[in-house]
Chain A
Amino acid sequence: ETGVTQTPRHLVMGMTNKKSLKCEQHLGHNAMYWYKQSAKKPLELMFVYSLEERVENNSVPSRFSPECPNSSHLFLHLHTLQPEDSALYLCASSQRGVYSYGYTFGSGTRLTVV
């Protein structure tokens, strides 16, 4: 039990599908993050939410749409993805503003776009 739960663990979708990834944390953290992890690339920060407000969007294509309805839940809505979007998508939470505080990651969603 990592404290951050991601569903689904695996997802295969066609390029015309619409799907959503879900992340949930009950650690009392005030920040949540979406990361993309591809083979042979460093972890790529996609979105940051602090106190339910988006504070960073790292030039992510509009086919990825985040949603943070409250401090415990984070979604990543996907539509018309490309095969190169296949990757492990990781959610994390932390206590923003405390520079020594570690991130708690979920187990990730392995996404395959066909």
Chain B
Amino acid sequence: TQLLEQSPQFLSIQEGENLTVYCNSSSVFSSLQWYRQEPGEGPVLLVTVVTGGEVKKLKRLTFQFGDARKDSSLHITAAQPGDTGLYLCAGGNAGNMLTFGGGTRLMVKP
């Protein structure tokens, strides 16, 4: 069974601070995806990384896939209240079956 562990589980910061969320596994994945979920809604895909060492940027969000394709990180620069939500990482295999991490609940206070 493939497992993904996310840390931290909860994070409360002030607007303007930087933060990093980690997603770790002992398994190798074909792809790693990050989703954001707001209360009362389903998760929304932010990014997919597929190559070991790959870095993708989406405005103030930077995503990195580990060289061995077992871990990933999400870094947010100058967090804003609109970044508040549940961040989920998900590892994909060749058949595109996803294994989800437990999530990081982020709250950004104005």
Contact = CB atoms under 8 A, between A and B. Distances in A.
Interface string A23-53: 0000000010000000001110000100000
A70 B48 CA distance: 28
Contacts of A2: 42, 44
Contacts of A59: none
A13 to B, nearest CB: 19
B50 A107 contact: no
A105 B88 contact: no
A56 B33 CA distance: 21
Contacts of A100: 30-31, 48, 50, 92
Chain A interface residue bracket vs B:
20 to 34
B110 interface: no
A12 B70 CA distance: 40
- Tell me if B's interface is mostly helix, strand, loop or mixed: loop
B42 A43 contact: no
Interface in A94-112: 94-108, 110
B96 A95 contact: yes
A45 B54 CA distance: 28
17 contacts: A4-B42, A42-B100, A42-B102, A43-B100, A56-B97, A90-B43, A92-B42, A96-B96, A99-B94, A100-B31, A100-B92, A101-B48, A105-B35, A105-B43, A105-B44, A107-B40, A110-B40
B98 to A, nearest CB: 6
A41 B95 CA distance: 24
B48 A102 contact: yes
B57 to A, nearest CB: 17
Contact of A106 (B42, B50, B92): B42
Interface in B66-96: 88, 90, 92-96
